[in-house]
């Protein structure tokens, strides 16, 4: 066994084998995989092994499409062919018009990735799958590339190719410990000896946290027991001259595919069960959980109604095995938070179908620092300190119970809530707040006009339209107040802090104390990595503020570039402070009523910061605006948050103060052309392509990503659009088209209540970026005329925030 290698991948299922293979494809051949038993002896061996193109983001579609292409290539390899039923086709059924609307949106989104879905009515679903009934069926989504594969053969084929390229695989080699050294390299301790390496990859399936514990981390991954049946031969299938399509049914909580001349039928019962929360038997290898048919009987009754042939089919065997889930159902593929040279590829509940693509994107990150697609949707750092075992279990149960029911716009499901709150959460609830969730934080979406108000989630404008419009009107005409919790906040200090931050950012930074700068940090490819507000409190203290979800992501990036001379220090204040936002033309009057400071434009102009008292509460106040109105961010220690709230609330009574939520902010920021990190600002585009050239200072002597930015191509640009419809907004991922050809993708959209327009933003081919350019945007699958407009539709002179 090798004693030194570049990368050690721990785990021999689809995750590990795919990562090993793709590392060799990226040019790293001095790599090793270690497996405690035989390859595929964990979840992989009992996988239902379905391979679909369907994904709910473009990144997920891309990795699944890569899996399909790779698996087809492996299946056709004459030296080592594998069993792959490629292109049988699959139907996702729908029992409501809202689900059909979602399918139309996903079809539009996938089109930009070169993937074609088809929308079917109920009768066509039954024609293509002759074993189903149409009772309660609205239609379905057809994926022509759907199929299934032999899991053991797939992993062996990947391992074989990796070995041929120079990689090594050590079976029956349990890992007993991990040691990280001062230079961030690792020693992997095994029962057969130690391996020194630069990088470790955790690909351990349901044993993920056994290895995680060896490096002092806990991964938010939970295993669920999952059962499927294999039937005896079905005469109706034997009579067909083709394989029946795969079937996934959110109405009845099951899936099925053909297995020889019978069916494999899997269940997502409501009475589901976690597995392994109290530890896993070390001898649980190539093993299953005890059968528990009673648990799935309620689902089985519905399956009989949807597929009556199953009622007469004998059961050949029952499989009950663990599969892994994360908090939001998507896997964790990428850097392990707060660790250097450590990666993971875990939580792959649909591992066989997606694993080829997951390993592909992870290998790119390991070798190149980034993948060709933005991978935030699967980034392990999207969950922070709230991701404990109990929360993960509750969210895994919820996701399992809703396996084929995708999240609707603005839908926030109830499990494991509330997790992160502030002293104001019950106060806001008493005021009628409807909460959403941002990185575990309960954040106000809007204020209900009455106690019995209920929102109908879907893809059309709904009951909240007028509610949000009223909140926006109050901010525009008088003064509004809201809480913005969870905002990421680092205090950066030291004599080298300012120069170091300047070298990290492509933007100009205001060095004078009391000034605020909006800056962009780039990766080595010159594309956007982070967006940060830098507030210079004094000569040696800067506050770094960024999106609530970016806490672990940005900390990793900053830590990786810290000077080694100790001249810069970073301290997180994210959980210590909360922001109160005061916005509107009377916001200066409100501040003056609760604080002794001079808030006039001369004493405290736009983009200023100062320490002050709000009533009796100490605070850091910034003159910044995400709404486009005169506005102030008031950063208050959580212990004094309620005191500051009371002072503002009481003083605001005579000024017509109204409360507002994040949906009102979303409407207003679209009118200003302001961006959201990981919606409009992603690693696939540089700041010039993102139409942020005004924040780029190429005359700076150096900054991270400068050389790549100067030599990069600019084939696509970010634009704002106005849509010629009033029934629905576009959705992120919807396609922009011209003459039937996809020319771009929507990243954000919604109604602008101050300008009375249906606004969308996104990236489009450079030929369509001139204001006045005409194109179409697919809204719920239907093309809608759209016009490219100037990015700032409201107060383009920026006179209002200057006051």
What string of DSSP letters covers 324-351?
Answer: EEESSSS-EEEEPTT-SSEEEEE--TTH
Q: What digits encode the pLDDT tens for the residues 141-188?
A: 999 999 999 999 999 999 999 999 999 999 999 999 999 999 999 999
CA atoms within 13 Å, Cβ hemisphere of 468: 23
Whether 424 shows a pLDDT value over 80: the answer reads yes
Query: Chain centroid to CA 303: how far?
Result: 32
Specify the residue for token string 């044993």: 207
Task: Please report the pLDDT score of residue 624 as a whole number.
Answer: 97
Residues 6+ apart with CB under 8 A from 452: none
Sheet holding 488-493, edge to edge: 516-522, 528-538, 541-546, 488-493, 569-572
What is residue 432's three-state secondary structure?
Answer: coil
Residues counted in the chain: 803
Extract the tokens encoding 46: 């009992």
Specify the residue for token string 């492996």: 74
Contact 607, 515 (CB under 8 A): yes
Residues 6+ apart with CB under 8 A from 584: 474, 475, 476, 477, 478, 479, 480, 629, 630, 631
Distance in angstroms (rounded) separating the CA atoms of residues 49 and 355: 10
Q: Which of 315, 248, 327 is nearest to 52 (CA)?
A: 248
Q: What is the mean pLDDT of residues 506-511?
A: 96
Task: Please report the pLDDT score of residue 20 as a whole number.
Answer: 98
Task: Please report the pLDDT score of residue 58 as a whole number.
Answer: 96
Contact 23, 367 (CB under 8 A): yes
Task: Please report the pLDDT score of residue 351 as a whole number.
Answer: 84
Task: Please report the pLDDT score of residue 563 as a whole number.
Answer: 96
Q: What are phi and psi of 535, to 5 degrees?
A: -115, 115
Task: Please report the pLDDT score of residue 350 as a whole number.
Answer: 87
CB atoms within 10 A of CB 455: 15
Distance in angstroms (rounded) separating the CA atoms of residues 385 and 401: 25
Q: Which of 193, 176, 203, 152 is nearest to 38 (CA)?
A: 152
Q: What digits encode the pLDDT tens for the residues 749-789?
A: 999 999 999 999 999 999 999 999 999 999 999 999 999 99
Extract the tokens encoding 445: 């979406």
Q: What digits encode the pLDDT tens for the residues 572-612?
A: 999 999 999 999 999 999 999 999 999 999 999 999 999 99
Question: For residues 410, 413, 418 and 423, what is the CA-based torsion angle, rounded to 10 degrees?
Answer: 20
Q: What is the mean pLDDT of residues 20-31?
A: 98
Whether 666 shows a pLDDT value over 80: the answer reads yes
Distance in angstroms (rounded) separating the CA atoms of residues 287 and 42: 8
Task: Please report the pLDDT score of residue 44 as a whole number.
Answer: 92
User: Based on C-alpha coordinates, what's the Rg of the chain?
Assistant: 27
Q: Which of 584, 601, 604, 14 is nearest to 349 (CA)?
A: 14
Whether 402 shows a pLDDT value over 80: the answer reads yes
Name residue 326's beta-bridge partners.
221
Contact 614, 647 (CB under 8 A): yes
CA atoms within 13 Å, Cβ hemisphere of 707: 1
The single-letter DSSP state of residue 228 is E
Distance in angstroms (rounded) separating the CA atoms of residues 676 and 12: 38
Q: What digits encode the pLDDT tens for the residues 58-80?
A: 999 999 999 999 999 999 999 99
Distance in angstroms (rounded) separating the CA atoms of residues 252 and 92: 12
Q: Which helix (H) or strand (E) holds 534?
A: strand 528-538
Distance in angstroms (rounded) separating the CA atoms of residues 669 and 178: 47
Distance in angstroms (rounded) separating the CA atoms of residues 445 and 394: 23
Q: E strands within 27-80?
A: 31-34, 50-51
Q: What is the mean pLDDT of residues 623-647?
A: 98
- What is the percent of the chain where pLDDT is above 70? 100
Distance in angstroms (rounded) separating the CA atoms of residues 415 and 401: 11
Distance in angstroms (rounded) separating the CA atoms of residues 42 and 204: 8
Distance in angstroms (rounded) separating the CA atoms of residues 208 and 314: 37
| Predicted model pTM | 0.97
Contact 727, 461 (CB under 8 A): yes
Q: What is the mean pLDDT of the chain?
A: 97
Distance in angstroms (rounded) separating the CA atoms of residues 413 and 407: 8
Task: Please report the pLDDT score of residue 52 as a whole number.
Answer: 96
Distance in angstroms (rounded) separating the CA atoms of residues 349 and 605: 52
Name residue 527's beta-bridge partners.
none
Contact 42, 208 (CB under 8 A): no
Q: Which of 340, 333, 423, 417 is nearest to 374 (CA)?
A: 333
Q: Which of 587, 611, 612 is nearest to 600 (CA)?
A: 587
Specify the residue for token string 């990796």: 162
The single-letter DSSP state of residue 290 is P
Question: Distances in Å between the alpha carbon of 300 and those of 267, 269, 294, 434?
Answer: 8, 9, 10, 37
Q: What digits encode the pLDDT tens for the residues 186-202?
A: 999 999 999 999 999 99
Question: Distances in Å between the alpha carbon of 616 and those of 370, 635, 799?
Answer: 47, 14, 32
Specify the residue for token string 């010039």: 688
Residues 6+ apart with CB under 8 A from 639: none
- At residue 114's C-alpha, the angle toward residues 743 and 88, to 5°, is 155
């Amino acid at each position: 066994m090798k004693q030194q290698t570049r990368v050690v991948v721990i785990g021999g299922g689809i995750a590990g084998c795919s990562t090993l293979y793709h590392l060799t494809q990226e040019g790293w051949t001095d790599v090793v995989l270690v497996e405690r038993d035989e390859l595929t002896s964990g979840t992989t061996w009992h996988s239902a092994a379905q391979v679909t193109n369907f994904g709910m983001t473009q990144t997920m579609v891309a990795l699944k499409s890569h899996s399909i292409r790779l698996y087809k290539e492996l299946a056709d390899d004459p030296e080592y062919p594998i069993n792959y039923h490629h292109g049988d086709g699959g139907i996702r059924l729908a029992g409501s018009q809202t689900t059909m609307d979602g399918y139309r949106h996903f079809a539009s989104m996938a089109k930009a990735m070169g993937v074609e879905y088809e929308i079917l009515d109920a009768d066509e679903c039954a024609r293509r799958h002759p074993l189903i009934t149409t009772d309660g069926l609205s239609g379905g989504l057809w994926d022509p590339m759907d199929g299934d594969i032999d899991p053991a053969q797939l992993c062996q084929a990947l391992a074989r190719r990796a070995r041929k390229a120079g990689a090594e695989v050590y079976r029956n080699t349990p890992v007993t410990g991990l040691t990280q050294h001062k230079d961030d390299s690792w020693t992997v301790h095994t029962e057969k000896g130690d391996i020194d390496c630069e990088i470790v990859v955790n690909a351990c399936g349901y044993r993920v946290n056994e290895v995680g514990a060896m490096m002092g981390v806990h991964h938010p991954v939970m295993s669920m027991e999952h059962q499927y049946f294999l039937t005896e031969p079905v005469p109706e299938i034997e009579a067909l001259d083709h394989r029946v399509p795969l079937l996934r049914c959110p109405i009845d909580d099951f899936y099925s595919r053909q297995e020889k001349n019978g069916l494999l039928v899997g269940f997502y019962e409501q009475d589901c069960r976690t597995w392994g929360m109290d530890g896993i038997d070390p001898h649980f290898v190539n093993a299953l959980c005890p059968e528990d048919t009673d648990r799935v009987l309620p689902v089985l009754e519905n399956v009989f109604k949807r597929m009556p042939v199953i009622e007469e089919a004998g059961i050949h065997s029952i499989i009950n095995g663990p599969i892994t889930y994360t908090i939001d159902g998507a896997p964790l593929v990428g850097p392990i938070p707060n660790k250097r040279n450590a990666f993971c590829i875990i939580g792959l509940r649909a591992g066989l179908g997606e694993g080829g693509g997951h390993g592909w994107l992870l290998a790119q990150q390991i070798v190149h620092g980034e993948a060709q697609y933005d991978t935030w949707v699967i980034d392990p750092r999207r969950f922070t300190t709230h991701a404990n075992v109990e929360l993960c279990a509750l969210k895994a149960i919820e996701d399992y119970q809703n396996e084929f029911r995708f999240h609707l716009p603005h839908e926030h499901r109830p499990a494991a809530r509330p997790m992160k709150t502030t002293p104001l959460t019950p106060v806001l609830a008493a005021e009628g707040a409807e909460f959403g969730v941002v990185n575990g934080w309960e954040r106000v979406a809007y204020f209900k006009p009455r106690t019995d108000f209920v929102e109908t989630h879907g893809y059309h404008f709904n009951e909240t339209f007028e509610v949000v419009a009223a909140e926006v009107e109050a901010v525009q005409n008088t003064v509004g107040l809201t809480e913005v919790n969870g905002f990421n906040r680092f205090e950066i200090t030291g004599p080298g802090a300012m120069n170091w931050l300047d070298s990290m950012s492509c933007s100009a930074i205001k060095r004078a104390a009391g000034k605020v700068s909006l800056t962009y940090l780039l990766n080595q490819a010159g594309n956007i990595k982070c967006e940060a507000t830098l507030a210079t409190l004094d000569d040696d203290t800067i506050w770094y503020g960024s999106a609530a979800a970016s806490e672990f992501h940005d900390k990793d990036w900053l830590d990786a570039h810290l000077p080694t001379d100790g001249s810069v220090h970073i301290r997180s204040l994210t959980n210590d402070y909360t922001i109160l936002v005061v916005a509107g033309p009377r916001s200066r009057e409100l501040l003056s009523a609760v604080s002794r400071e001079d808030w006039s434009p001369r004493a405290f102009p736009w983009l200023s910061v100062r320490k002050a008292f709000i009533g009796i509460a100490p605070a850091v106040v910034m003159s910044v605006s995400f709404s486009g109105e005169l506005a102030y961010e008031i950063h208050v220690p959580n212990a004094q948050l309620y005191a500051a709230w009371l002072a503002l609330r009481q003083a605001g009574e005579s000024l017509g103060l109204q409360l507002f939520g994040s949906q009102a902010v979303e409407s207003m920021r679209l009118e200003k052309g302001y961006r959201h990190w990981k919606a409009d600002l992603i690693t696939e585009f540089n700041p010039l392509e993102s139409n942020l050239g005004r924040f780029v200072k190429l005359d700076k002597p150096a900054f991270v990503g400068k050389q790549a930015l100067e030599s990069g191509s600019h084939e696509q640009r970010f634009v704002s659009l106005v849509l010629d419809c009033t029934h629905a907004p576009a959705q992120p991922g919807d396609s922009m088209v011209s003459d039937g050809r996809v020319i771009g993708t929507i990243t954000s959209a919604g109604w602008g209540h101050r300008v009375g327009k249906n606004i969308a933003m996104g990236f489009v081919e450079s030929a369509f970026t001139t204001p006045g350019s005409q194109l179409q945007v697919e809204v719920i699958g239907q093309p809608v005329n759209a016009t490219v407009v100037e990015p700032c539709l409201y107060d383009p002179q920026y006179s209002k925030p200057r006051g």
